[in-house]
Each structure stands twice: as structure tokens, then as C-alpha cells.
Structure 1
Amino acid sequence: MTSDGIAAESSGATRERYIDVVRRLTAAQKPAARSAPAYSRFVNRRIGRYLAAWAYRAGLSPNAVTAISAVWTFVAIALLIVLPPSWGQGIAVAVLLLIGYAFDSADGQVSRLQGTSSPAGEWLDHMVDATKVSTMPLALAIGFYRFDVVPTLWLLVPIAFAIVSAVLFFGMILTEQLRRRTAGSVPLATEQPGRPSWMRALAVLPMDYGVLCLSFVLLGAVPVFVVVYTLIAAATTLFLLLAAAKWFRELRSWSPDTSATTQKGDL
């Protein structure tokens, strides 16, 4: 496409009505994975769609939207360290995290609208996600230690959660990459047989990142928050163990044929 064509396309994006952009996004929405939890699937994707339409009309690039998501998210994480637990702090942290999460959903949608999907953009998105899932529980542990609001032994919960979150994120990304190498014999998460259901979406709610964000509202009542957070951490750990076993079985069942041989270590 020529520079004049790009300029015309950009000009057209600014003239397109907001509601028309939203409708285009709705029609082009990627299918949700069968295991997609309720908040992420039914709430966050919708909010992200509205933000993506705004960003598209504003001429923002997908990487700029990723950067906006990172700013909201890491400001929230910083508040966990610098402010003592309170209702005000908890609400602020939850709102900031949820806005960051919505922009995280929006960047990919902007990319599809602009037709600018790239390995660099996907890399940036995953790097931000990998950083936040590890730093959030560690920031919580540091903040609780600084303000001495929980027994020291309990600090092992968010520290362990940081490890579980990092391993789960890596496992999900690596499993999808390896599934692609099987040339379709092991379906991707969005290609699993069967349709997404309300029952499944509700069953995995404890592992929903949106629910984790909402849990910080309870920081004004630390004993209640500690119970809820520990249950979320335990549920996520159980999910990781079950998912890891399932992923291993899927990949172990794949036998490459001579026509689809791939280079070892080529991801």
C-alpha cells in the first residue's frame, strides 16, 4: 500500500462513526476458547471492544494501546506497595487493574481493525502480561510486609501465587506454540471441539483475572481479603496442575509424520 493509501485509510478511520466501528468489531470478534472464564469473556471483551473503537478512531496503534494498558496496571501494582490497605486503596487498585485489563483486550482488536498484526506487537503484549502476573502478588506481599497487617507466614501465599502465575502463563503460551507445530492434529484453544458454555465459564471464575482484580476491593477488610485471595490462589494452583497434565497428554499423543516434520527447537 502506498503512503497516500495509508493516509487515506487513516483519514477514513477518523470519519467512520464510532458505532459503526463497534459493529465491525462485533462481527469480526475472535471466537472465545471453551475454557474462557465469565468476566473475561462476557464483560472484559465487550469493554475492550468499546475502547478499541475509540482508540481506532483516535489513530492509536496497537502498541500504544498496550502501553496504555501497562500504565494503568503498573500504577495499581505500585499502589499495593506504597499505600496501606484500606477501602480507598482497594477500590483504586481494582479500578485501575480493570481498566488496564480492558485495554489489554483492546490492543488486539485495534490490530485487527488496522490490519497491523505483527510478531513484535504480540511479543510486547505477552511481555507486559508476563511482568504483571508476577509482580502483582509480589507487590501485595511487599505492601503487607511493610504495613505489618498479616502474619508473616501468610506472605508465603502471594509469593507462591507469583510462581504459579508465572508458570501458568508460560505454560499457556508454550502449549499454544507447540500446538501450532502439530499442523492441526492438536487443536488450538480456540479450536477445541464443543461450544463455550455458561457452565464452564462460571466454573473457572476463580481463575479469572478479572475476578482477581475485583478481589482487591476487599483490601479495606484485610481478614476477608486474605481468605478470598487464598482461595483464588489455591484454585489457580489446582487449575495449573490439571491443565498441565492435560497439555502434556495432548502433546504426547501427537506423532509427527514424515510430511510435517519440524525442526527441533523452532518455535
Structure 2
Amino acid sequence: MTQTSTSPAAGQAETFRGTLDRLAGAQKGAARSAPAYSRFVNRRLGRVLAAWAYRRGLSPNAVTGISALCTFTAIALLPLVAPSALLGVVVSLLLVLGYAFDSADGQVARLTGKGSPAGEWLDHMVDATKIVTLPLALGVGLYRFDVVDHVWLLVPALHAVAGSVYFFGMILTEQMRRAAGVVSTAATGGRAPWLRSVLGIPTDYGTTCLVFLLLSVPTAFFVGYAAIVAATLVVAVAAAVSWYGQLRRLTANEAGAA
């Protein structure tokens, strides 16, 4: 994580608004191609939570811990409690909070200069765990409470596979590119490609968080959830093809320069 830190002037009591302003200056620019919820909603929620955490002296790892607590509490409820309107709201709210705190930990790290490889590792491990456990917990709950025909349980199972492979491929590709001296950067300035952000909504983790609001209406929930899984599969396959091509070209360029 970036080690940049900015501090208020000595002897001045900083307001919450002032902390928010410093966060805006210290954080990374949002990638223009990021899905709409992550870009326009979650990042801003994360900024507010990061300001709250910073003013209470919480470390980036502590913020990651709060994110994990919210997320995994929601995940644990899915196989333990029968689907209902109340469960859907609680699960969705906890997942949204967990996602916002996931954004906040990096913002706190950049604001305080306390980012570290260990902190980045912890953040990725929490992400990797939630990606596979959320759909599996959902599948167990659907089976236990006999919500859908059993054949449809393949959908969350497929989601667990596609999400895990996509996340691993993204991290592995980035590490291999770094090892070759190439650092990936996402464009953050210029005109915003609104259409690309909107088209990314089905694969946005925020969309997955919100679809649980439909949990009390199984048909509507499963239509929305199945669409998310289908989009994830398409993106995972397309990304894998693109990453493989990038690494092949990188290898060819290195061989040509030798």
C-alpha cells in the first residue's frame, strides 16, 4: 500500500470535514472503468468510514477486521436462518458495510502512511475467503430450507468457482507483470466512460450485496443472482484470455530484447 500521509497543521483540531478533505487528497484516483456501484457509491461510503476510523485511531488492519466481521456475519446467517424479507435486509446491509470498510482500510493506510505488505496480504486473504464462502453459504441455505429445485444449486457452486478463479487470475497476473518490471495502472483522469461503468454493474460486488434484498421473493432473487453469475463467468473467461495474451506478449518482448 502507498505510504503517503498528510497531517493537519500543528496545534489545530481537525474537524470531520477536514479529515474527509484530506482523505480525498490522499487516496488513489478511482479507475474510470470501475463498475458504477464501486466507483460512485462504495468508494464514497468508504471515505466516510475511513474518516470515522482515523479519528478513532483505528489501524488499517483493524478496519479490515471490521470489514471481515460484517461480511462473515452476513455469510454465516445464510445457512442458519430461513430466507425472509428481514434476513435479506440484514444480509444486504452487512455485506454493504463490509464492502465499504474494505474500501476504507486502504484509504486509512494512505492517510496514515501505515500501509504494509502484511496489511495488503490480510486484505486479499479476506477478499479471497468471502468470494468462495458467500456463494457456498447461499447454496447450503437454499438446500437446507428447500427454496429451489436442487439442480439450481449448481448456480452458486458455479459462482464460487468462477469468482475464485477470476480473483486468483487477477492477482497472479499482476504479480507476474510486476516481476517482469511492468506495473499496471488504471486511467483515473479525463472524460468518464459512463457506459463502461454501467455495463460493469452485473459483475460489481456491490450488485451482489444488493441482490439479497430480494431474498424473500425466491424467483426474483434467483433471476437476479443467476444474471450476476452468468456475467461473472463471461468476464472471467474473457479476462483469462486477455491476461494469457498479455503474458505471452511480455515473454516475447523479453526474448526479443535479450
TM over 0.5: yes
Structure 1 position 16, deviation (Å):
2.0
Per-residue deviation, residues 88-140 of structure 1 (Å, max 9, x unmatched): 11011000000000000000000011101100000000000000010000000
Equivalent residue, structure 2, for 1:97: 95
Q: Is the 8 A contact 2:83 2:216 kept in 1?
A: yes
CA distance in 1, matches of 2:75, 2:50: 24
Match of 1:252 among 248, 251, 255: 248
CA distance in 2, matches of 1:189, 1:195: 17
**Is the counterpart of residue 168 in structure 1 residue 166 in structure 2?**
yes
Equivalent residue, structure 1, for 2:219: 223
Aligned ranges 1:101-180 → 2 under 5 Å:
101-180=99-178
Flag the 1:128–1:226 CA change in 2: closer, same or farther, 3 A.
same
Match of 1:199 among 182, 195, 200: 195
Query: Which amino acid letter does the alignment assign opposite residue 209 of structure 1?
Result: Y
Structure 1 position 181, deviation (Å):
2.5
CA distance in 1, matches of 2:79, 2:29: 37
Per-residue deviation, residues 45-100 of structure 1 (Å, max 9, x unmatched): 00100110111110000000000000000110011111111111101100000000
CA distance in 1, matches of 2:191, 2:176: 23
Query: Which amino acid letter does the alignment assign opposite residue 195 of structure 2?
Result: M
**Is the counterpart of residue 76 in structure 1 residue 74 in structure 2?**
yes
Normalised to the residue count of structure 2, the TM-score between the two structures is 0.90
Normalised to the residue count of structure 1, the TM-score between the two structures is 0.88
Alignment length, in residue pairs?
Answer: 250
Other structure's SS at 2:27 match: coil
Query: Which amino acid letter does the alignment assign opposite residue 80 of structure 1?
Result: L
Other structure's SS at 2:114 match: coil
CA distance in 2, matches of 1:194, 1:169: 28
Structure 1 position 165, deviation (Å):
0.7
Per-residue deviation, residues 203-235 of structure 1 (Å, max 9, x unmatched): 111000001100000001011111110111001
Query: Which amino acid letter does the alignment assign opposite residue 179 of structure 1?
Result: R
Q: Is the 8 A contact 1:32 1:196 kept in 2?
A: no
Query: Which amino acid letter does the alignment assign opposite residue 136 of structure 1?
Result: L
Structure 1 position 177, deviation (Å):
1.4
Equivalent residue, structure 2, for 1:51: 49
Q: Is the 8 A contact 1:145 1:152 kept in 2?
A: yes
Match of 1:237 among 233, 239, 242: 233
Structure 1 position 183, deviation (Å):
2.2
Identity of aligned residues (%): 55
Query: Which amino acid letter does the alignment assign opposite residue 224 of structure 1?
Result: A
Q: Is the 8 A contact 1:34 1:196 kept in 2?
A: yes
Question: Which ranges of structure 2 fall in alignment gaps of 5 or more residues?
Answer: 1-6
Equivalent residue, structure 2, for 1:88: 86
